[in-house]
Amino acid sequence: MPVKLPPDLRQELPAIARRAPVVLGLNTAVALLMWHFMEHRRLDEQLVNVHAIGVTSWLLIDVGRFVFGQPGSPDRMGHGWRKLLFLAFGIVTGYIAGTLVSDAYSGRSTWALLRQAPDAFLSLAGLSLLIGSAIVYFFYTRGELQYHRAQAEAARREALETQLKLLESQLEPHMLFNTLANLRALIALDPPRAQAMLDRMIAFLRATLNASRTELHPLRLEFERLADYLELMRIRMGDRLATRLELPPACAGLPVPPLLLQPLVENAIKHGLEPCVDGGRVEVSAALDGDRLVLRVRDTGVGLPHPTPAADGDGFGLDQVRRRLSTMYGGRATLRLVPADDAAGGTLAEIRLPLSPTPPEA
């Protein structure tokens, strides 16, 4: 009947296997040193002795902590006296078991040495236990440090996610207030169009609310929300607003934060097209550039008031986009606002971000 390992131990087996060469290397180094200074043993006997004790102690502790240890502690060995007791048990038991193996190989009795020369036995045993304790201390202080680093990283990631949710919660009311202001202006001018705009807004807000409850969603859904929003704006602006959305199939499934592009589109309409008597066109596109996703929102409106090669832009929506990018991607994502470089004029907002988010460096 096959032995059923604890789930945590099965997950840890690759890490235990990675530690094995280090343990064997340290044991070999210790055996060579002891052989050099203790001439009464052959090299092969010393190697068997040290490896038998070292490997047995290591396995008793490294594997035993998942079988007999305390769940919830950093290394499953408990805290304080519990940890000391667990380590002492592993080291002493490993020494006894390893010595029996070594004696069987060499044909000598270490326990007979205890009767014949107690001082020599105590020196040998004390040295072996001291070396074993030093090796165990090295491994498990390092393991505890790694555990606490992982816990700190998880806490930092949770804080970043909380900050993202806060930024999104600030963005949604801003977008809603702007839409309601547009609706209020339209009611007095064209009630039927205002009714159509209200119906479209209800559908748009319902879809947007569902999307904003996730940290990331496919770019395809982001473009669908933009199409809804642009239809909403077209009801108000009529023929003054033309749109074009370009989403290559290769980009459709890539993850992006919800409502990432909507503030840029809103900015393009409000500051680019609305001041123009004839309106203009809003173009939204996505493309791959190496290991980066490039998102562009371009309008053919009035352009930037003071065009500069690296214009940063201002306003609530742009600030929120920058802060969300910084929170989720660190310095790996950028947003730039520049004049469009063709005869149609207007403004180009461009986002470059990695294909998958990673937490920024602390």
Which sequence spans correspond to the domains of the chain? 7-153, 190-354
Q: Specify the higher pLDDT residue, 100 or 357.
A: 100
Q: Evaluate if residue 49 carries a pLDDT over 70.
A: yes
Alpha carbons 27 and 43: distance in angstroms, whole number: 13
Per DSSP, what are the bridge partners of residue 350? 296, 336
Comparison of pLDDT for 169 and 207, the residue scoring more = 207
The string of pLDDT tens digits covering residues 179-216 is: 677 677 778 777 887 787 787 777 777 766 665 567 78
The CB-based long-range contact list for 162-167 (8 Å cut-off, 24+ gap) reads 163/327, 164/215, 164/257, 164/324, 164/327, 164/328, 167/320, 167/323, 167/324, 167/327
Identity of the residue numbered 294: V
Mean pLDDT of all residues in 36-53: 79
- Give the residue from 165, 163, 159, 200 showing the smallest Cα distance to 179: 200
Superfamily name and number for 190-354:
Histidine kinase-like ATPase, C-terminal domain (3.30.565.10)
Spell out a b/e string for 237-251, using b for 16 or more CB atoms within 10 Å of the CB, else e: beebbebeeebeeeb
Residue 186 CB-density burial (10 A; 0-12 exposed, 13-18 middle, 19+ buried): buried
* Mean pLDDT within 332-350: 89
Mean pLDDT of the chain: 77
Residue range 67-79: average pLDDT?
A: 60
Residue 42: phi, psi to the nearest 5? -70, 160
Q: What is the pLDDT of residue 338?
A: 92
Cα 362 from Cα 359, distance rounded (Å): 9
Check if the beta carbon of residue 351 is closer than 8 Å to that of residue 294: yes
Q: Which residue has the higher pLDDT, 26 or 68?
A: 26
Segment 275-281 mean pLDDT: 89
For the segment 294-331, what is each residue's pLDDT rounded down to a tens digit? 999 999 988 876 544 334 444 556 887 888 888 788 88
- Has residue 58 got a pLDDT over 70? yes
- Would you state the pLDDT for residue 264? 92
Classify 63 as helix, strand or coil: coil
Is residue 76 over pLDDT 70? Answer: no
Both tokens assigned to 90: 């592993």
Please compute the mean of the pLDDT values over residues 129-147 and round it to a whole number. 68
Q: What is the pLDDT of residue 72?
A: 58
